[in-house]
Structure 1
Amino acid sequence: MRRREFIAAGLGATLGLDAIPSAGRLGTADVERIRAIVPALYTHDHALGGGALHAVAEQALHAVHRALNHCTYGSRIERALYAASGDLAASAGWFAYDAGRQEDATALYSEALQAGMLAGDGMLQARVWSNLAMQARLLERDQEALRIGRAAVETRQAKADPWLMSLLHCRQAVGHARVGERTRAERSLARAESAYGRTSGARAPWLSFLTPAELTGLAGAAHQALGRYARAHELTLSALGMLEPRFERNRVYYTAQSAQALLDGGEIEAAAAEALRATVIGRRVQSDRVRGKLDGLRGQMRRHGHIPAAADFLEQTRQTGA
């Protein structure tokens, strides 16, 4: 059995999906059981990547659909169920996005938006808009990504939650930088820092990755897009130094970002060493986004194949690619 199938099978049992009723009357305990699925999935996502999780997340979502359609419940439980199912759909969409299954991600985000509307959950809707902006950026639709991100920033829920607002402004900073809007990128970074300074209390489980390391890494990505490679590398190294061990997928991602900053800055030997480090640790995660970043590095390194360090990197990764 392949690794991701083994993980999915094991997680399905651990999450207790068989305990979600498909008949009878649902109560608060059933809603809490469904809500507990998302934090458990994100614990594994940080280490393994979405490639290992999108299948089990969709399996969980199907179990929730059966409960919604075949069980009975009152209006209060109904709203709570739609909020919980929307949270799960948004999470499944994120895992599909990370796994490179963009059509699946789009459909799941659409379902999450509908559930958020039925539940009256504006925070869920703002979250999905943010993820849709990231997806548009991945597909190189940068202006669309900025427009979607702006809509998320302007929601009442985002304005009331500094955790979410900090993330949204950081992602907008990267978007502005990618289209060459230096002043707007810098303004968004400043707003992200200001919002993070106002955070307190517990954050939503899906925001568990939002730490000073993540904000610093995103700032590095913005400077990278602006062509400030030395500053991008400095910030990315700082992010890696702060990153907790549990965020293994992000460690690969930011190690690759560090290599990219070095490569774009003309430091080929250091870039090759960093790219190799990212490739080695990247074999433990299942993320199409990370794989694409590593593939891109390897493709660019071919231009410098006459340099021994680059040639060594290409040889060492020849069998498996990035």
Structure 2
Amino acid sequence: MADSGVSRLAGLRKAAGYTQVTFAAAFAREAARLCIDASVSVRQLRRWEGESPPPLPHPGQQAVLEAMFGLPLAEMGFDVPPHRRSTVERIGDDGEVKRRAFVTGSGAIAAATVLPEQRGPRLGASEVAALRTRLVDLYAVDHRSGGIPAKARAQQLEQQITRILSSSVYTSRIGRDLQTMLCEIACHRAWFGYDGGPLEEARAACMEAMTAAQLIDSPLLQVRALNTLSLLSVEAGRTWEAASAVESAYGLARRAGAGPTVHLVISLREASAATHAGDLPGARRALSRAVSYQGRAGTDTDVPRWARFAGPVEVDYATAAYYAREAQPARAVPFLRSAVAGLGGGYTRNTAWYRARLAQTLLDTSEVEEACHEMAGVLDACGGVSSDRLRRRLRSFGEAAVRLDAAPARDVIERIRETTRGESG
């Protein structure tokens, strides 16, 4: 076979958006859908693309290749004997090579590469990149201003992407990117709802995210959604559900080959679920796992953006929660101080969260003056943060301080009332 034939298969693969590795995986999925016992290794694909003449695929492989590209094997650059001419060539009503409407012509590639019969503006990679930039910006809005304003932006972006999917022309690869973004937005909305409420909406978004992640076959996004479900379940007092979500997340992460950082996030959720359930031995085991994963996180080469927050700060915070549940607030204080000190710039909401927890814990140790100093710092910094969970922490501190009836607390109590007055929680 001529060299042009060899390059033809490689060109078809690249035009469909596959590397040699991802093509081998896609080949296996297509074979499973067709119930054909066939596979291809990267090594064999390299021979098909690089040798002249290349080895002829066996009949099962031929059927899968023709289904993937919507072309007869001969048009992929192989020398095909007459008895192996495929049914793809016979599709049509006049004996000519008229492939189904999903193939745009003999020069086109796979049936699934361009969505059929669509009208509207054509969407390209640059437009998708702009949408993804807005998606990434949601992290900054959440860290800086809290879940309530971030959720409003997420809903606007979700509506725009949904309209694009319904009314634009795009390749299947871009369509998958858009659907992945919708899944990520649902994950965002679940988290934003955990922060800003209402929790029922957050739970619905979480279920939506898990379904979407299954449809696009993204186990890591399923892990992300399950991590948030665990938090929501703890908030609702459903600690058994939180533990189940954690176990499912571990299983998916292992099957996906996730690195230590993703496992660190799951172990932190495991520690939270066990701590709130009163399973202190289980919480200690989870924290030990977290320390181990955190120590290996430096070896990670590809950490999902949603997991990049996890590190020593979160381990310290989870350890403090454990000691608080063990009724040892004095042992929790140094871990909370370390967590607050370790947060970098841009984490306005989390800094307020952690300092509010530190203030409450200091109050529990009868360090009233220092507790009020910390809470005053929270009130000074949280004016631009809109977070229902933070409001609840402020109110909880105020109620505890009122019971103490201590002079250093009176000014802070009044400031908390002013800050939270008229806000739903």
The normalised TM-score by structure 1 is 0.85
Shift of 1:60: 0.2
2:237 to 140, 148, 156: 140
CA contact (8 A) 1:219 1:235 kept: yes
Could you say which residue in structure 2 is the equivalent of 1:46?
143
Work out whether 1:274 is the aligned partner of 2:371: no
- Code of the residue aligned with 2:163 in structure 1: it is R
Aligned residues of 2:147 and 2:192 also touching (Cα < 8 A): yes
Who is 2:170 aligned against?
73
Distance 2:181 2:403 in 1: 49
CA distance in 1, matches of 2:189, 2:333: 32
Q: With CA pairs under 8 Å and 6+ residues apart, which has the higher RCO, 1 or 2?
A: 1
**Relative to structure 2, which stretch is displaced further, 85-94 or 269-278?**
269-278
Selected match of 1:313 from 412, 417, 421: 412
- Whether the 8 Å CA contact 2:271–2:282 is kept in 1: the answer is yes
Corresponding letter in the other structure for 1:140:
G
Which blocks of at least 5 consecutive residues in structure 1 are unaligned? 1-21
Separation in structure 2 between the aligned mates of residue 78 and residue 302 of structure 1, nearest angstrom: 56
Q: 1:158 Cα shift?
A: 6.7
1:222 aligns with 2:322: yes
Whole-angstrom distance in 2 between the partners of 1:267 and 1:130? 34
**In the TM superposition, what is the alpha-carbon distance from 1:159 to its structure 2 partner?**
5.7
- Contact kept, 8 Å, 1:272 with 1:310, in 2: the verdict is yes
1:100 corresponds to which residue?
197
Conservation of the 8 A alpha-carbon contact between 1:174 and 1:225: no
Give the superposition deviation at 1:267: 2.5
Pick from 177, 191, 207 the counterpart of residue 289 of structure 2. 191
**Structure 1 CA distance, aligned partners of 2:265 and 2:344?**
18
Distance in 2, matches of 1:159 and 1:302, equals 51
The change in CA–CA distance for 1:290 and 1:158 in structure 2 (over 3 A counts) is farther
Alpha-carbon separation, structure 1, partners of 2:135 and 2:251 = 26
Shifted more, 205-214 versus 58-67: the winner is: 205-214
User: What is the 5 A alignment of 1:2-81?
Assistant: 23-81=120-178
CA gap 1:231/1:154 in 2 versus in 1, 3 angstroms: farther
Give the CA deviation at 1:117.
1.4
> 1 or 2, which has the higher helix percentage?
1
Amino acid in structure 2 at the alignment position of 1:222: Y
C-alpha distance after superposition, 1:105-137 (max 9, x if no partner):
223222222221121111001100110111122
Number of residue equivalences: 300
1:299 to 399, 403, 406: 399
8 A contact 2:186–2:206 mirrored in 1:
yes
Match of 2:208?
111
Structure 1 pair 90–106 and aligned structure 2 pair: CA distance change class (3 A): same
Equivalent residue of 2:419, what SS? coil
Q: Please tell me the residue identity of whatever aligns with 2:413.
A: L
> Counterpart in 1 of 2:104?
none
CA contact 1:91–1:206 (8 Å) conserved in 2 = no
Contact 1:116 1:124 in 2 (8 A): yes
Please say if residues 61 and 85 of structure 1, whose CA atoms lie closer than 8 Å, have aligned partners that are also in contact: yes
Measured in 1, the distance between the counterparts of 2:383 and 2:256 equals: 36
Across the aligned residues of Structure 1 and Structure 2, the Cα RMSD in angstroms comes to 2.1
Contact preservation (8 Å) 2:234, 2:276: no
SS in 1 for 2:123: coil
Cα distance in 1 for residues equivalent to 2:255 and 2:338: 31
Between structure 1 and structure 2, the one with the greater Rg is 2
SS of the residue 1:320 aligns to: helix
Q: Does 1:258 align with 2:358?
A: yes
The Cα of 1:92 is off from its aligned counterpart by 2.5
Letter in 2 for 1:229: P
| TM, length-normalised to structure 2 | 0.66
Runs of 4+ in 1 over 6 A off after TM superposition: none
Distance 1:57 1:278 in 2: 27
> Are the structure 2 counterparts of residues 36 and 321 from structure 1 closer, same or farther at C-alpha, using a change threshold of 3 Å?
closer
Structure 1 letter corresponding to 2:295: G
What is the identity percentage for the equivalent residue pairs of Structure 1 and Structure 2?
31
2:227 matched residue in structure 1: 130
Moved more, 47-56 or 134-143: 134-143
The CA distance in 2 between the partners of 1:243 and 1:162, in whole Å, is 20
Taking the aligned partners of 2:200 and 2:259, their CA distance within structure 1 comes to 30
Structure 1 residue 166: Cα displacement: 0.3
Q: 1:22-65 deviations in whole A, cap 9, x for unaligned?
A: 93333433433333222211112111111121111101001111
Query: Structure 2: how far apart are the matches of 1:58 and 1:321?
Result: 25
Cα distance in 1 for partners of 2:263, 2:227 equals 10
The residue matched to 2:310 in structure 1 has which SS? coil
Query: Once the 2 structures are TM-superposed, how far is the Cα of residue 154 of structure 1 from its aligned partner?
Result: 2.4
